[in-house]
Amino acid sequence: MSLLIKELSVWDISFRWAGYDPDSFWLRYPLEVKDNFRLLMSAILHGEIICNTLCLDKLPSNSKADPAFYIRSYEKQINDCLSGKRFDAKFLKWASLGRLDFLEWCERRGIPSPQFWFPAGWKLDFEVPNGGFPGHRMRHVEPDNGELASFSFHWRDDEEEEDFDGDESETNENNNPKLRPNQATKIACQTIAQNIWKTEPEVSIATMVRRHEIQILGGAKPYVHEVIRRWLSEVAPPEVSARVGRRSSKNTTEGI
């Protein structure tokens, strides 16, 4: 069965693409896997594909940003990988690629999309009625008269206002509609991110998504990465948005 998850590490992609199990114990990596390691890391380094966990910018000297998210923190691992000298498993498992970003890179390179992630005849996304989100309209029915609890989908009609749990929207004492939980979380995360960017403009969107302030204080932890990233992209400063996927003018890691 093919995978449909949104993100995989360079380690997982390289093994699965070559038809091997990434969780097996390997004393020596197969040649096809090593070639995939080098191919994908080169694409990340040269800005051909966006990496969710590695930013191409330099780590600011006066910043408290996490060095783990900056590609220049891994000069030795990258050079060893590109030269085929050594492949750092921990580093390759840290570098992760989004499913749609990987597909776009394959199309631009003219590479057939691998079956393990893009099975023939399957649609890229799950189609939800009325433009909703998968699972956001699932109702939990409490046991009644000895019957078991059950779950059922309830898709919002165009004219119907519902909150996150599928119940009708409530109003406050001024008879104004209350925000649904996901709307309130979105606003909280955007406000927090905007305040952080005022003092730390070097923080990328991918890094911001994983910040403690966003995940815990903003309440974003229950939401998937793509949703949070879309929220923050709406309020990111132009210079932050412009850094995503920017190509590097270097062909090697010299000067990293």
Beta-strand pair 138-141/96-98: unpaired
pLDDT tens track for 46-102? 999 989 899 888 877 766 778 888 898 999 999 999 999 999 999 999 999 999 899
For residue 97, the 8-state DSSP code is: E
Of residues 155 and 19, more confidence is placed in 19
Place 192 in a pLDDT band, splitting at 50, 70 and 90: very high
For residue 40, pLDDT over 80 is answered with: yes
What's the mean pLDDT in 121-140? 58
Contact 217, 201 (CB under 8 A): no
- 185: burial class by Cβ within 10 Å (0-12, 13-18, 19+)? buried
Burial 6-38 (b: 16+ CB within 10 A, else e): ebbbbbbbbbbbbebebeeeeeebeeebbebbb
Whole-number average pLDDT of the chain: 79
Confidence of residue 248 (pLDDT cuts 50, 70, 90): very low
- HSE (side-chain half, CA atoms, 13 Å) at 38: 16
